[in-house]
Structure 1
């Protein structure tokens, strides 16, 4: 549920934010998304290793970045 872009010294991951269970910490994929956010990891993250997976990210917000408008 995300897009990955490999940059020069980091990897950019656009993540779809979903509410999670307080018991299992698994996402409620059937519920409405809270939106998207972007995570930058120092170094290389192999995009193939992220396919078909859910990820959990913790950290501090460091700013805003305008993404693409998506309509369907």
Structure 2
């Protein structure tokens, strides 16, 4: 059961930027973004690291910035 004070909607996971959850009628549903993508709270979707909003980059893990060709 989710925190009853949260309104219905989508929320970023405070521990993992590649995860998010949705509250529906007080019930929490957890989601995982696809490989190499992170939840963008303003767009309410998963995006690539360079598409993340300013200020959120420091929350991303170091592998988000690895060169995929290496």
**TM bracket, shorter-chain basis:** 0.3 to 0.5
Give me the TM-score of the superposition, normalised by structure 1.
Answer: 0.34
Q: TM-score, normalised by structure 2?
A: 0.35
Higher helix share: 2
